[in-house]
Structure 1
């Protein structure tokens, strides 16, 4: 595991990352249409006590796989370093100034400041691999990016059928992106890239649990578990919330986070809910984590996390879907064989 980055550098990278990561994403298709709260209520998740923020965040959430892709919401919408964000169990979604939405890199920006989380050891980024990735904005970027994904998200590795590329391709289904029918299945790999970015590590076995093989992406970590023959996802959104609040924080991550500008910043009785505002400017945490009361007259239906969900063509049980708070990994998919149909 590499040495931790200086905290000032992490803060600067996070500020820059919010702008750069959003501006550099180049999906293969048009952005999802933004709907207003009046058009459709966002769902309330009884298990976590939060609703998806209405408007652009909810529109993106539902057109990119919903809870199957992001997990349930575990915060309200709030301002972080001047940008509106919402934390989900697996990812953090951010609202851009132009109204578009994108996932935020939590490991590369230092928002989750360690690759040792809950006894798991996630891969460090591979600088050589990162430097070899096609730069956004270049000619034929979309084609080159998907070729890079195919080359570095293997189906098989060291004799194991890890299924990373299949898992990537099945992140967003045709019915997610185009719920009224029609649509171009050729756009789906680009939508998956919106969520994950590109691979930034080679596959790596967990040194403590060799049956688990990781692949780190720009905006998430996949893990193949040979014992269950499943691809899993690191719960980075849950870990970021733990860093901010200090609740359900694994001891190894807590040790790494000491001195971080994000560490235990949530202070309900402080101005704007921020314990040390000089370290985290333009941030309002006051309403981020108190669970909102649900009116008895609300039109929002309470949505269980495990309601009718399937991932990559495999129906999951409630135990598989509802990962407890503080758990670093949760099952999300059966490792799919090469050539599996992804446009469903």
Structure 2
């Protein structure tokens, strides 16, 4: 069952495997007590590889002609570790993986190539030397499809223990992030707008994802068909035909889901054209990968169309009717992981400053925010004011994001004394701004190699991170975490892993979405509940803002509607 984006182009797998790896990242779930949008490792390169936990399991979704990187701490001593990768759709045999060791900035491929049996690839590795980090590059050599996968390292006794025993044998996280996409309820359902009705992703145990498609052939069968790995035993597919996203239960279609091997399906046949919702739930105890399609697929109308209930009778509503968001191209600027596309006005700035590795995935369309067009990414917000060049918003300004507690993590507050000491723009002292930043941005702190100055330079310097507005501070709830706050990011050091900027900009989006947002933790909601940004996204309202007078110069129309 294909799951593609565009017409397939012929390419050589051998050439792809020796070419430089591409930059595409994975959105993770909980990692060391930090929510998906705060995850530091992105998977875009060996240097940014996602750590595999001591459970030995990992999962993700690879974009067409792209790669994801993972790493694990091999215990050494000639122990044999087997890496197994199961992928969906099951005919995606041009998904492969390779092992590397050495310097993450220039890793060396090691070991043999994987063996393929059905939709399962396997490779074994052993080395008589001591403990070391081993990198896994998962490469999607399909140019026309996304491919999702679940992986496992066995036996887990070949992995490092949770407690560091030496610099060469650092700790590994207890669990490994699981990719999305995330759409936990019908109100946030992912709309299938193209791609021949194809979709893919991964689900953690107990997680569900919601989609919706346009049923455009009244009186004809439409089939939702999903294949799963490693098994469909605990997957549950349901279809709903209502219009009230807060109460779809009464419109759930009856009967049992069909199953053939590890493929499940449901059918729907209605009298009127309308949107149909479906949910896929993972009721098992292990991560699953899925790839599916809706057939026949009809692209949704570009203009609002009356929707119908299960009986085919139009359903009236007293709430504003939101126009359908314009379709976006599913090209190289589109990221299936979040369902958003880097806007043409922002793409040059995005590409010239590190792309996903710097900004994270796009999490919005282009929209007007406080007087200027902007586009939100997981880490940063690009601002495109008329008559000025692209710039990055000072996200951590007290007016926007003054918060210090996010999902149990405790960040340093802005330090007014440090800010007063910082050379002001336009002052004679500003010529020495980098010297000042280096003097207050250490590479060693509390005996730990935090490498804040090195990371500042490597991650875009003053233009991207802004100036420091706090000194380093350990997390009072976890001594292995040390943070340093800048104008636009917070650098996060984790003992035994390294330092990365946190993915904080997506939290501003969660604040704007308000109660019920999929990734808004209670502690952040409590702090932000009095903010003028809180709970402002009202589909179909004036400028799609719930309280327009609080946000002059802002227009949220379609801002967070996936494409």
* TM-score of Structure 1 vs Structure 2, range by shorter chain: 0.5 to 0.7
TM-superposed deviation, 1:97: 2.8
- 1:169 corresponds to 2:169: no
**Alignment match, 2:382:** 93
2:500 alignment partner, SS class:
strand
Contact 2:511/2:534, CA 8 A, preserved across alignment: yes
Q: The residue matched to 1:58 in structure 2 has which SS? A: helix
Shift of 1:42: 6.3
1:261–1:280 CA contact under 8 A, matched in 2:
yes
How is 1:1-344 mapped onto 2 (pairs within 5 angstroms)?
43-55=333-345, 57-139=346-428, 141-142=430-431, 144-172=432-460, 192-228=461-497, 230-246=498-514, 247=517, 248-292=519-563
Q: Distance in 1 between matches of 2:403 and 2:415?
A: 15
Q: Is the 8 Å Cα contact of residues 94 and 102 (structure 1) preserved in structure 2?
A: yes
CA distance in 2, matches of 1:249, 1:112: 14
Change beyond 3 A, Cα 1:110–1:227: farther
Q: TM-score, length-normalised on structure 1?
A: 0.64
In structure 2, the gaps of 5 or more residues are 1-330
Q: Can you list the C-alpha shifts for 1:81-138, whole angstroms capped at 9, x where unaligned? A: 2211111001111112323111112222432241111111111111111111111112
Instruction: Report the Cα distance in structure 2 between the residues aligned to 1:81 and 1:168, rounded to whole angstroms.
Output: 28
Q: 1:38: which partner in 2?
A: none
TM-score, with structure 2 as normaliser:
0.40
Question: Does the residue aligned with 2:549 lie in a helix, a strand or coil?
Answer: coil
Distance 2:366 2:353 in 1: 18
Displaced runs of 4+ in structure 1, greater than 3 A?
none
- SS for the counterpart of 1:150 is helix
Q: Which residue of 1 aligns with 2:76?
A: none
1:24 aligned residue: none
Higher relative contact order (CA 8 A, sep 6+): 1
How many residue pairs get matched? Answer: 230
Check conservation: 1:87, 1:237, Cα contact below 8 A: yes
Partner SS, residue 463 of structure 2: helix
User: By how many angstroms is 1:141 displaced?
Assistant: 2.5
Structure 2 match to 1:22? none
1:126–1:202 contact (8 Å) kept in structure 2: yes
Contact 1:42–1:53, Cα closer than 8 Å, also in 2: no
Q: Which has the larger radius of gyration?
A: 2
- Measured in 2, the distance between the counterparts of 1:141 and 1:107 equals 21
Shift in Å, 1:203: 0.5
CA contact (8 A) 1:53 1:77 kept: yes
State the partner residue of 2:11: none
The 8 Å contact of residues 130 and 200 in structure 1, kept in 2 or not, is answered as: yes
The answer to whether the 8 A contact 1:112-1:236 is kept is no
Give ranges in structure 1 of 5+ residues lacking alignment: 1-40, 173-191, 293-344
Does the 8 A contact of 1:113 with 1:256 survive in 2? no
